[in-house]
Amino acid sequence: MTGSYPNTRLRRTRASAWSRSMYRETVMTPADLIWPLFVTEGSGIEEPIGTLPGVSRWSIDGIATKAKEAAALGIPCIALFPNTQADRRSDDGKEALNPDNLMCRAIKAVRDACGSGIGILTDVALDPYTSHGQDGLLDNTGYVVNDDTVAVLVDQSINQANAGADIIAPSDMMDGRVRAIRMALEMNDHPNVQIMAYSAKYASAFYGPFRDAVGSGGLLKGDKKSYQMDPANGDEAMSEIAFDIAEGADSIMVKPGLAYLDVIWRAKQAFSVPVFAYQVSGEYALIEAGAAAGVGDRDELLMEKLLAFKRAGCSGVLTYHAPVAARLLGG
């Protein structure tokens, strides 16, 4: 395929805008975006999140409005995260199983507002509900136990599916949870509820602003390294993904995003399944901080990074920039 100069001049096809658009290999549309939204109690409430400039927690009425906005922009799916009231957090995170919790009420409000016009993805993990900020149950040494946690996550998933969630997204990194959730969905009359597995989720320094947003940051002692992956590992990500596909995931996720493009690429090449990236809170905040510091144009910075996910093989990206990007894409 290598030509020789001047028979081949690779700049020829770049010389004009029409030609660049004709030869463009990767195209992004609003349908490639999933918009994460933070829910808080009350009504008529917007609480800006200091470490996520431009992102707020909204009370349920505001979430319904945002969901309509997403649909109008051509964004096919939103992801919901609750900022659970402090007095409803406990060691065992049992508020996650309450059919009337903030999450379930938000799901129903979005469904009422948008009908089936938008997908609702819900995160499965206990960290927004526990008083210790970990994603699972602790034993008396503080270790996050696997199998007992999975049992609770199954109930949490069914609670969300019963409320109307379309995509269950386990973000907890327990072993075996996808199979357990899939079996429970089948047994509870939810055969078409999807599972998007956070398969390769790394113990990352980029989650800080998210933990502020759901109020778990101040509670968390220690780290999540006994369940989230070591950023040094790529082969292990392939094992995680293989398990989740075998256990019944419809799509898999790599998280964070940009620092793990190699993992996205390998996953797509190896498994040919739908791969999604989560451009996490710290990644969003760095783009905003960079733009504010004069590094470059905010819109150009963010679109270049989002396009990279598509080029690497993603079917879509969870990003707090979703509405901004959708507008830039003409949605």
User: Cα separation of 248 and 318, whole Å?
Assistant: 21
* Whether 201 is catalytic: yes
Q: Contact between 240 and ligand PBG (CB under 6 A)? A: no
* Whether 305 is catalytic: no
Q: Which stretch binds ligand PBG (CB under 6 A): 120-128, 137-145, 159-167, 187-195?
A: 120-128
Q: Contact between 157 and ligand PBG (CB under 6 A)? A: no
Q: Contact between 281 and ligand PBG (CB under 6 A)? A: yes
Phi-psi region of 93 (alpha: psi -120 to 50; beta: other; left: phi over 0): left
Q: Which stretch binds ligand PBG (CB under 6 A): 40-48, 110-118, 203-211, 264-272?
A: 203-211
Residue from 171, 194, 199, 251 in contact with ligand PBG (CB under 6 A):
171
Q: Binders of ligand PBG among 174-193, rule CB under 6 A?
A: none
What number of chain residues touch ligand PBG (CB under 6 A)? 11
Q: Contact between 210 and ligand PBG (CB under 6 A)? A: yes
Around 146, how many Cα atoms within 13 Å sit in the side-chain half-sphere? 10
Nearer to ligand PBG, 110 or 174 (CB): 174
Q: What are phi and psi of 163, to 5 degrees?
A: -75, -15
Closest CA to 238 of 273, 272, 263: 263
Which residues is 58 bridged to in the sheet?
39, 46
Q: Contact between 125 and ligand PBG (CB under 6 A)? A: yes
Catalytic residue among 201, 224, 268, 305: 201
H or E segment and range at residue 216: none
Are the C-beta atoms of residues 211 and 217 closer than 8 Å to each other? yes
Cα dihedral 326→290→40→229 (10° resolution): 90
Catalytic residue among 66, 108, 224, 255: 255
Are the C-beta atoms of residues 247 and 195 closer than 8 Å to each other? no
Residue from 127, 240, 247, 288 in contact with ligand PBG (CB under 6 A):
127
Residues sharing a CB contact under 8 Å with residue 149, sequence separation 6 or more, in sequence order: 126, 135, 136, 137, 172, 174, 177
Q: Which stretch binds ligand PBG (CB under 6 A): 23-31, 59-67, 205-213, 305-313?
A: 205-213
Cα dihedral 169→231→89→104 (10° resolution): -10
Residue from 77, 104, 280, 326 in contact with ligand PBG (CB under 6 A):
280
Residues sharing a CB contact under 8 Å with residue 55, sequence separation 6 or more, in sequence order: 38, 48, 49, 213, 284, 320
Residue from 38, 207, 227, 260 in contact with ligand PBG (CB under 6 A):
207
Nearer to ligand PBG, 186 or 236 (CB): 236
Q: Contact between 58 and ligand PBG (CB under 6 A)? A: no
User: Cα separation of 12 and 250, whole Å?
Assistant: 42
**Distance in Å, CB of 135 to ligand PBG, minimum:** 5
Q: Contact between 77 and ligand PBG (CB under 6 A)? A: no
Cβ count near 202 (within 10 Å): 24
Residue from 33, 67, 76, 135 in contact with ligand PBG (CB under 6 A):
135
Residues assigned a catalytic role: 201, 255
Residues forming contacts to ligand PBG in the complex (CB under 6 A) are: 123, 125, 127, 135, 171, 207, 210-211, 224, 280-281
